[in-house]
């Protein structure tokens, strides 16, 4: 693992169980992740969006499951956040929406 590639995970305040039950869900296919730091970088970028409650990224499956408030966040915003995660000139990520549920 490249030490220059390390990224610190971010955390959000806990969301109420009611908000999570009512949350929308999206499954994204992710391209470009090569190591756990890449998965953390993608996760951080998605969590940074106002209205995203939780993100689970699977490096091995190249997937991200996102729980979010559909009134604040669109699936297009989620896809764009993945692309922005690689804006350091060394990493490039792409995402495609596989499934969205509200």
Q: What pLDDT, on the 0 to 100 scale, is given for residue 18?
A: 81
pTM for the whole structure: 0.89
Boundaries of domain holding 48: 26-101
> Domain for residue 7, yes or no?
no
For residue 51, is it left (φ>0), alpha (ψ between -120 and 50) or beta? Answer: left
pLDDT of 78 strictly over 80: yes
> Domain for residue 1, yes or no?
no
Q: What pLDDT, on the 0 to 100 scale, is given for residue 12?
A: 79
> Domain for residue 78, yes or no?
yes
Which CATH number belongs to the domain containing residue 40 in this structure?
A: 3.30.70.100
> Domain for residue 43, yes or no?
yes
Contact (CB, 8 A) for 82 and 100: no
Per-residue pLDDT reduced to its tens digit, 23-77: 999 999 999 999 999 999 999 999 999 999 999 999 999 999 999 999 999 999 9
Per-residue pLDDT reduced to its tens digit, 4-30: 677 888 887 777 778 778 899 999 999
> Domain for residue 10, yes or no?
no
């Amino acid at each position: 693992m490249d030490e220059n590639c390390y990224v610190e995970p971010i955390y959000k305040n806990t969301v109420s169980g009611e908000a999570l039950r009512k949350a929308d869900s999206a499954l994204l296919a992710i391209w470009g992740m090569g190591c756990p730091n890449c998965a953390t970088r993608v996760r951080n970028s998605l969590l940074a969006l106002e209205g995203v409650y939780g993100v689970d990224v699977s490096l091995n499956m190249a997937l991200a499951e996102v729980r979010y408030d559909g009134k604040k966040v669109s699936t297009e915003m989620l896809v764009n956040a993945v692309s922005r995660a690689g804006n350091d000139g060394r990493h490039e990520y792409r995402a495609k929406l596989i499934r969205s549920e509200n």
